[in-house]
Chain A
Amino acid sequence: MNLIWVPLLPLLGCLVSLLLGRYPRSTMALGAAILPAIALGIVVSLAPEVMSGSNPVVTYDWVPALSLQISFMLDGLALMFTLLILGIGLLVILYARYYLSEADNAGRFYASLLLFMTAMLGVVLSANLIQLWFFWELTSVSSFMLISYWSHRSDARKGARMAMTITGAGGLALLAGLILIGEVVGSYDLRTVLASGSLIAEHSLYPVIVVLVLLGAFTKSAQFPFHSWLPQAMAAPTPVSSYLHSATMVKAGIFLMARFYPVLSDTHLWFALVSLVGLTTLLVGAYTALFKHDLKGLLAYSTISHLGLITLLLGLDTELASIAAMFHVINHAVFKASLFMAAGIIDHESGSRDMRKLNGLFRYMPYTATLAMVAASSMAGVPLLNGFLSKEMLFAESLHQETFGSLSWLIPLLVTVGGALAVAYSLRFVHDVFFNGEPIGLEKTPHEPPRYMRVPVEILVVLCLLVGVLPDLIVGDLLVAVGASLMPAGVPEFSISIWHGFNIPLLMSFLAVLGGVALYRQRRHMFNFQARFTEVDPKLAFEHMIQTLVERARSVQLWLDNGSFQRYALWLLLMAIAAMSVPMVNIPHARGSLEVTELDMVALGGALLMIVASVATAMLSHQRLLALVTISVVGLVVSVAFAWFSAPDLALTQLSVEVATIILFLLALYFLPQKVSLNHLSPGRIVRDMGIATAAGAIVGTLTYAMLTRPFDSISSFFTENAKTGGGGTNVVNVILVDFRGFDTFGEITVLAIASLGIYKLLAGVRLFVPAADMDGRPWSKDSHPLMLMQISQSLLPLALLVSAYIFLRGHNLPGGGFIAGLITAIALIQQYVANGVVWMRDRGDLKFQWFIVWGLFIAFASGVGSWLFERPFLTSWFDYFYLPLVGKFELASAMAFDLGVYLTVIGATLSILANLGKLTTTDRPTRPGRRS
């Protein structure tokens, strides 16, 4: 079977679980389990191939242009993790069947669990770096859903948020690291990367890469100092904990280190960093675990400690350390999953997880107690169990490493201390829960769980024993295959056996057990000492940190963006000045090679007009109506200038936009203060603003002069040559708008439509202050609609509509087109609103502006889609010439339909903005649905 099905089947199972949401619990569990079980079958069937040294690979092209692939590979390392993920996952599915209560939504639980399983499988099987990262992030997201499964509980939400933030931040670092690896190696393909040998380690970016990748691994694997999220994630349902914290989530970080072990590890930096972090985590975790009264809390810190142990092994520069690390990954997954499940059973059947209440449970649940005791002994490292073997290997490896030079002897010592602490907390787990008197104040009498709830624990405990007694038989071949992934150069000979004779590692084990028992006996003193620390709740500390961060970010944002338009303009201008001035300093002369056209009097007069009006606008800006009049002069002169310099299309557009803008300003001005005092401005600010304005003007002026005096080869000649033959029109501007760049225009009218709807939404329900007198305090005229204005405006309307129809129709060949025509129509209609009033307009047919917009967009879209019928790309235009009697020869072009869409959208959007702003003072104002204004 194809490898792609391994991650795909659990993903399909995710859907199955959601579909089975209403069926009985057992059906649902079966439905959820069936597809991962098939996936496990596929993996097992592929295992012999992997063991014999060939790695099955599947690759599909995804986006070939970006050399993105979907690619999966099953090598020894992936095989081991896949077996753990699927095997323990199936046991968790069975276990959760009995754990979840009737009130819990089991469909959602299984769906999230299987999504998470898919993500983990994706991480371990990915043969592409970016794809690996994608699944890595998916584990963060799906574990968030699992941890916050009981979303009504605040600690679940907080814990999930914390896990997501910390592992997500690490994920970003990892992405940077993976991209650097990809750049250094020149390929994102994992096999190429792994085959690159010492290329990365010898690159100058190596330290950055190592730190970034390790940040990802350490956050995920809860290494000190990023470990605080793991105990908080215990708010999840216990099946989740037993899955996430044994075989999967936290092991993803270990997997990452193992995955890049061949190319990243063989340096001093790696060994120092990894072993130091691992050792610290091992000790901090084991020490803290001892003081946790919560059963799951103890297991959580023990998990941290064991993850530290594995990390430490990956950071020891001895031959077999990495093999030992992988061996411990298996062992820890097996005994920790069973312990979490046992803790869940105890919680489920006795109603408490507090070890101060739970005592003497052996009498109530002897069978579960025996299972838990075997698993706990494995955690402590008792001989004949799997935990003993890997711990013994750690002791052995710690003896002949030279990681810290002459200080290296500290490692075996500290590792033995860690071992003793592990014995002490395991002893506490066993003694406090199952013996040590009678239960105190439990809500219900503890009893054995349902038969099948215990099955997963039994299977795992049997595995502990089997691996412990017959290690070579059970996992020997698998470890050799894993070793081949970690050490491509060749795996050293090794054999795992339970008896190596009397040697120093055995002595260390003996000392650890002895020390552990002594520590546990003297725990009262340690508890007393520990009580002198003020305990900080990591949740609160984390929330505090996040809130501080948000506050800082907000204050920076307020400094940059305080909501004032002047501030935006300031930043924009400063940035523009900075961006433009540097390259312009490098241009030696502003004047280019082109001849300067001679100055004529009309141009000079126009320039004078424009300059004086601009200066007047700036000086009168505090008297707003006057400023509006002077800025209108600027707009008029610009329009005439466009005509003067042979751009009639631009002149027409500029004119109509100018008028629409004046009306918009007047409408808004009514609600604004008419005069603004300038007294509050400090002289410093005036000088600063004048300086910035002058600098911006000088730079833009020079830039324009430099541009105009240089020969400039643009693509416009292409448009000029092809407008008639390719677009069927002689007006190049219009052909560009509706044909060559039709897609841009379509985007623009869509934006226009969205903007006008947004403005409508903003206006809805707004009530503004209405001034009762003009700026000089004179009352308003009584005559709201002067008769003369009404008459002239009404007679203007048919004329304006005729002109706009004319401009629209000839637009394809001569200046004009849908945009200008739309503006003219809209302005003519607005004039009717101004002259005759809203009520008068409503009586003569209520214009629904949004229908103009909708139809306009629809027609434009349909004219684009129409070309699909002729198997041409979107918006391919068509045109032909026809003859009709009386009319003569005329042209029909599909671009005309598109232009009609533009025309309607422009009318709708302009009217919707201007008329609705005008209606604010009337009873026809835009309202919010369900609210009366």
Chain B
Amino acid sequence: MLSNVIMICTGMIGLAMLFCLWRLIKGPDITDRILALDTLYINSIALIILLGLYYGTALYFEGALLIAMLGFVSTSAVAKYLLRGDIIE
């Protein structure tokens, strides 16, 4: 039962990622694309957690944790770049 749920969820997350890709390519603005990238980060957290559930291991948890933590850093850095150009000042 659970594996079926995981399968369906994985498919949905995959679909969401493809939609993100669509937004990333189409734009039209740079902010749309940055948001798309950030959403891709979040989706991949979900994907990795699902993978860990599927295999029944906690090994992948740190991967998800790192994406959650560092994905924020890169998104905020790009946002700061749009705002000020100079990200460390």
A residues contacting B by CB (< 8 A) are 601-602, 605, 608-609, 612-613, 616, 625-626, 628-630, 632-633, 636-637, 639-640, 643-644, 648, 651-652, 655-656, 658-659, 662-663, 666-667, 669-670, 770-771, 774, 780-781, 783-784, 786, 789, 792-793, 796, 799-800, 803, 807, 814-816, 824, 827-828, 830-831, 833-835, 837-838, 914-915, 917-919, 921-922
Contacts and interface: CB of A to CB of B under 8 A. Distances in A.
Interface in B22-79: 24-25, 30, 33-34, 37, 40-41, 44, 47-48, 51, 59-60, 62-63, 65-67, 69-74, 76-78
A693 B81 CA distance: 31
B48 A640 contact: yes
Contacts of A816: 62
Contacts of B83: 780-781, 783, 786
Given A629-B24, A816-B62, A666 B17 contact: no
**From DSSP, what is the main secondary structure of chain B's interface residues?**
helix
B5 interface: no
Given A659-B70, A815-B62, A630 B88 contact: no
Contacts of B41: 636
B89 A922 contact: yes
Contact of A605 (B17, B33, B87): B17
Contact of A670 (B62, B74, B86): B86
A67 B18 CA distance: 65
A792 B83 CA distance: 17
B21 A609 contact: yes
Contact of B72 (A630, A669, A796, A830): A796
A636 B74 CA distance: 11
Given A613-B21, A652-B63, A815-B62, A793 B76 contact: yes
Nearest to B79: A789
Given A601-B14, A644-B51, A780 B84 contact: yes
B79 to A, nearest CB: 8
A784 B62 CA distance: 33
Contacts of B10: 601-602
B35 to A, nearest CB: 10
Contacts of A651: 63
Given A609-B21, A648-B62, A655-B66, A784 B30 contact: no
Given A629-B33, A643-B60, 13 more contacts: A612-B21, A640-B48, A648-B60, A652-B62, A659-B71, A663-B74, A770-B86, A792-B72, A796-B72, A814-B59, A824-B66, A824-B70, A914-B88
Contact of B76 (A602, A669, A789): A789
A918 B88 CA distance: 5
A632 B37 contact: yes
B81 A601 contact: no
B27 to A, nearest CB: 8
A771 B85 contact: yes
A366 to B, nearest CB: 87
A663 B77 contact: yes
A602 B78 CA distance: 28
A195 B25 CA distance: 79
A667 B44 contact: no
A656 B37 contact: no
A784 to B, nearest CB: 6
A771 B86 CA distance: 9
Contacts of B24: 613, 616, 629-630, 633
Contact of A803 (B21, B59, B69): B69
A616 B40 CA distance: 16
B47 A602 contact: yes
B40 A667 contact: no
B80 A789 contact: yes
Contacts of B88: 667, 830, 833-834, 837-838, 914-915, 917-919, 921-922
7 contacts: A632-B37, A643-B51, A656-B66, A658-B74, A663-B73, A666-B87, A789-B76
Closest A-B pairs by Cβ, 4 of them:
A918-B88, A605-B14, A659-B70, A781-B83
Contacts of B44: 636-637, 639-640
B40 A636 contact: yes
Given A636-B40, A670-B81, A831-B76, A609 B18 contact: yes
Interface of A: prevailing SS = helix
B51 A632 contact: no
B41 to A, nearest CB: 7
Contacts of A636: 37, 40-41, 44, 67
B36 to A, nearest CB: 8
Contacts of B86: 670, 770, 918, 921
A651 B81 CA distance: 26
Contacts of B25: 612, 616
Contacts of A774: 82, 85
Nearest to A776: B30
Contacts of A827: 70, 73
Contacts of B40: 633, 636
Contacts of A803: 62, 65-66, 69
The residue in B69, B77, B83, B88 that gathers the most chain A C-beta atoms within 10 A of its C-beta is B88
B45 to A, nearest CB: 10
Contacts of A670: 81, 85-87
Nearest to A917: B88
A800 B69 contact: yes
Contacts of A625: 30, 78, 81
B53 to A, nearest CB: 13
A784 B78 contact: no
B85 A780 contact: yes
A829 to B, nearest CB: 11
A835 B76 contact: yes
A866 to B, nearest CB: 30
Nearest to B80: A834
A786 B78 CA distance: 14
Nearest to A620: B25
B63 to A, nearest CB: 5
Contact of A643 (B33, B63, B65, B69): B63
A815 B59 contact: yes
A636 B30 CA distance: 19
A630 B71 CA distance: 14
Contact of B37 (A629, A666, A771): A629
Given A630-B24, A636-B41, A651-B63, A643 B73 contact: no
A659 B67 CA distance: 10
B38 to A, nearest CB: 10
A663 B69 contact: no
Contact of A666 (B21, B69, B78): B78
B16 to A, nearest CB: 10
B18 A608 contact: yes
Q: Which of A633, A652, A670 has the most CB of B within 10 A?
A: A633
A786 B79 CA distance: 11
A65 to B, nearest CB: 46
A917 B86 CA distance: 11
A324 to B, nearest CB: 82
B69 A799 contact: yes
A609 B81 contact: no
B43 to A, nearest CB: 10
Contacts of A628: 78
A837 B80 CA distance: 12
A609 B84 contact: no
Contacts of A632: 37, 74
Contacts of A616: 24-25
A834 B21 CA distance: 27
A922 B89 CA distance: 6
Contacts of B80: 789, 834-835
Nearest to A653: B66
Given A613-B21, A632-B37, A780-B83, A796 B89 contact: no
B40 to A, nearest CB: 6
B57 to A, nearest CB: 9
Contact of A655 (B59, B63, B89): B63
A215 B70 CA distance: 66
A789 B72 CA distance: 11
